[in-house]
Amino acid sequence: MSIYNVILVAVDLSSEAQQLASKARELAHANNATLHLVHVIEPLSFAYGGDVPMDLSSIQDQLDEHAHNKLAHFGERMDYPISGQHVVSGHTETEIHRLADSLNVDLIVVGSHGRHGLALLLGSTANGVLHGAHCDVLAVRVHETEAPDSE
C-alpha cells in the first residue's frame, strides 16, 4: 500500500543535501511515489534591495544557471526517476509551500540540523516548512559536514 504518492524533496544544494537523498529514495521506492526536487533561490534584491547601484540581473542569471546544473546533478545521483526538478525564485518556505500545493504533494522532505538555543529561537527552514504545509513534512536530521561541496 502506498502512503505517499507524490514526494517533494527540498534541496539546499549544500554538501549536506546528500544526506536527504538516500532517505527520500527509499521512501519513494517503498511507496512507488512520484519524486520532485526543489531548490529555491532567494533573489539578490531580497538581500541588497535598492542599496546596490548596479544591475544584478546577470549575476542572478549565473546563480540560476548554477543552481539548475547542481540540481540536475543531484537528481542524477538519486538513482530514482525524477519527475520534476524545480528551481524557483522567492522566499524559501513560501515557494516550497506553493510548489507542494500545485503538485498535490503529500510529503515534503527537508533537512533539519536539530538546532537548539538561539538558533532554534531564530527558526530554521524545516520549522518554517512544517508550519503552513498542507501535507506531511519529514525532517531528516542532517549532520554538518566539514568538507566543502566540491560538486
Cβ proximity to ligand AMP: between 24 and 33 the closer is 24
Q: Cell 543535501, residue?
A: 17
Q: Are residues 81 and 36 in contact, defined by beta-carbon separation less than 8 angstroms?
A: no
Cβ proximity to ligand AMP: between 46 and 48 the closer is 46
Give me the numbers of helices (H) and strands (E) for the chain, helices first please. 6, 5
Q: In the bound complex, what is the minimum distance in angstroms from residue 1's beta carbon to ligand AMP?
A: 27
Cβ proximity to ligand AMP: between 33 and 99 the closer is 99
Q: In the bound complex, what is the minimum distance in angstroms from residue 38's beta carbon to ligand AMP?
A: 6
For residue 109, report the phi and psi dihedrals to the nearest 5 degrees. -110, 125
Q: In the bound complex, what is the minimum distance in angstroms from residue 59's beta carbon to ligand AMP?
A: 17
Q: In the bound complex, what is the minimum distance in angstroms from residue 118's beta carbon to ligand AMP?
A: 14
3-state secondary structure of 101: helix
For residue 114, report the phi and psi dihedrals to the nearest 5 degrees. 60, 40
- Compute the distance between CA of residue 54 and CA of residue 51 in angstroms, rounded to an integer: 9
Which residues of this protein are in contact with ligand AMP, per CB under 6 A?
10-12, 38-40, 92, 110-111, 113, 124-126, 142
Cβ proximity to ligand AMP: between 10 and 78 the closer is 10
